[in-house]
Amino acid sequence: MRFRNLVAMVVLLCLSTVAFATTKESSKVRQEAIKDRNDKCVTCHMKESRSLTKQWEHSAHEAADVGCYTCHATSKDNDFGYMHEGQFISTILSPNDCKFCHEKETKEMTNSHHATAGQIMASLDNMLAETIASMPDTIADAVSGCWQCHGSIVKLERDKFGKKIFNAEGAPKLDYKTWPNSGIGRLNPDGSRGSCNACHSKHSFDASRARQPENCGKCHLGPDHPQKEIYEESKHGIAYYASPKGEGDRGMNIYKQGKWVLGKDYFEAPTCATCHMGAYRKSNGSIVKGTHNVGDRISWTLRPPISMKLNRVIFEDGTVQDITGEKPPRVGSTQTYKDYVVKDGKLVKVLTKKVVKKVLSWKDRRSGMQQVCKTCHSTPKVENFYKQYDDLVYTYNEKFAIPGLSLVNEMKKDKIWKNSGFQTAQEDLGYIWFEIWHHEGRRARMGAAMMGPDYTHWHGLYEVARHFYSKFIPKVQKLADKAGKGEKYKKLIKEIMDRPEHEWNKTGGNPELLRAIDAENAARYGKDNK
């Protein structure tokens, strides 16, 4: 760390009016004027915010002369910028700031599913937080809950005339409902999406932190997407937590600077970053580069009520979108591109027709993940795992999701299912269906995807089946009866229940199997416990 002497500091203050107030200019870290500005920031912040500064002092940024001014300098036309100690800066940084040095990573991140996470602000999930679980004026549940992972639309506070309000330091005040926020899909003032420090926590921004599964746990846990808990239960997670994390032949080399390659720099266990983003060494010795697009290797989308295969489409203008379907779109075809833009502080959907230039099919994406798997596992094991995984997804889809959603859609057409379906008058049917697919169904599918048996069964399909048979179907019929359409829905439900997979609900189960269960219970626990 360089600290200038007092004379140099005096000269710096005298030169503070020199215009270096753009990120492009401030990224020229080898220039003495930029070095001086960075040193000035550190000298002051070592007193004002010592821990923050010490984080930076031990970072790769410090070693590369990338300092506070380098990143926080901004142009005079930035509405969120302000004059601070003679320099025009912005508190908020976005991927556009990081891309001056990390162009490849920024492009991959911008085209990833992570960068679209802020689109939850136009979803049923967010309606639950903003309306059902919040006060109209604060929407506190969305602000402190959903948006902290998915991202907010960062806004300034303004008076009744629309003018900016400034704080005591002369900085424009940020709307507290939208800041602080490090959500992965944050919609930034410069129009960019995402937040690099969601994974690379400031002000060290260490790659080693992003490599560890705990880093993903802020967002990927809980009743609807417990990936972190599933990972901890899996053989992968067990191997990771039982392995040393430092350097050495048996270590994970988590803290290694630079590239971190599976099969070369570590081999004890994979982390979330390994499978979804990591570089790896192939059997022929070649290295496959990592990616900051976390969806590149995902072939199923397990988020919606019905799971679908996932194809990535690159359009002629360079924009990227995931399009679902067993059959990927054709190169040269015209597809509807769905985007979300911020207009008047709100998220607005925009539909545009675009021509497909390149397609990464779901099979291509699956092949990419399987190549990672084969770094540690044999081809037959990898292929059989995917057959198990697919069987579970198809079972969920065909037995519960498709028939369940068909009933929901029919009820909406018949105006039995009104609005969101969550109102008390609708017998909690909206909640029951939401939890079947959004919570329990996701847990089952994700459990199978990540080898978590308890989440696949007890937290997953067991709960799906219990609520489908004992709550969902009976309440569909009850509401249909109330609406005078009982006969119609008796017929629809009968058509579903007459299928072989639901036959057990009439017979109580296979008689031969039930006799075997009784015999086993009697032998194990005594005849009175059978």
Give 460-492 pLDDT, tens digit per residue.
999 999 999 999 999 999 999 999 999 999 999
Query: Order of strands, edge to edge, in the sheet holding 279-281?
Result: 261-262, 279-281, 287-288
In this structure, is residue 115 part of a structural domain?
no
pTM of the model: 0.91
Residue 21's pLDDT band (boundaries 50, 70, 90)?
very low
* Percent of the chain whose predicted confidence (pLDDT) is above 90: 83
The per-residue pLDDT for range 208-239, each reduced to its tens digit, is 999 999 999 999 999 999 999 999 999 999 99
Are residues 470 and 401 part of one domain?
yes
Mean pLDDT of the chain: 92
Same domain for 357 and 408? Answer: no
Confidence class for position 25, pLDDT limits 50, 70, 90: confident
Q: What is the mean pLDDT of residues 265-294?
A: 95
The reply to whether 10 falls in a domain is yes
Tell which wins on pLDDT, 23 or 54.
54
Task: Give the three-class secondary structure for 351.
Answer: strand
Domain count, the chain: 4
| 269 shares a domain with 322 | no
Residue 279's domain comprises 207-288
In a domain, 523, yes or no: no
Same domain, 11 and 79: yes
> In this structure, is residue 283 part of a structural domain?
yes
The verdict on residue 355 lying in a domain is yes
488 within a domain of the structure (yes/no)? yes
Give the range among 79-93, 243-257, 317-331, 353-367 with minimum mean pLDDT. 243-257
Q: Is residue 401 part of a domain?
A: yes
Place of tokens 């990081």: 98
Of the residues 67, 90, 113, the one at which a domain ends? 90
Question: How far apart are alpha carbons 492 and 98 in whole angstroms?
Answer: 55
- Using a 10 angstrom Cβ sphere, with 0-12 exposed, 13-18 middle and 19 or more buried, the burial of residue 149 is buried
Statement to judge: residues 403 and 481 lie in one domain: yes
Whether 241 is covered by a domain: the verdict is yes
Residues 248 and 326 in one domain: no
What mean pLDDT comes out for the span 365-380?
Answer: 97
What pLDDT score does 530 carry? 59
What's the whole-number mean pLDDT along residues 255-269? 94
Nearest residue to 433 (alpha-carbon basis) of 409, 456, 455, 457: 409
Domain boundary, last residue among 268, 288, 308: 288
Please say which residue of 42, 65, 90 terminates a domain: 90
Residues 407 and 471 in one domain: yes
Q: Are residues 405 and 336 in the same domain?
A: no
Instruction: Give the best-scoring range by mean pLDDT among 109-118, 184-193, 392-401.
Output: 392-401
Q: Which pLDDT does position 23 carry in this prediction?
A: 66
Name the nearest CA neighbour of 212 among 177, 254, 178, 260: 254
Long-range contacts of 461-468 (CB under 8 A, 24+ apart): 461/392, 461/395, 461/396, 463/436, 463/439, 464/396, 464/400, 464/436, 464/440, 465/400, 467/432, 467/435, 467/436, 467/440, 468/400, 468/404, 468/436
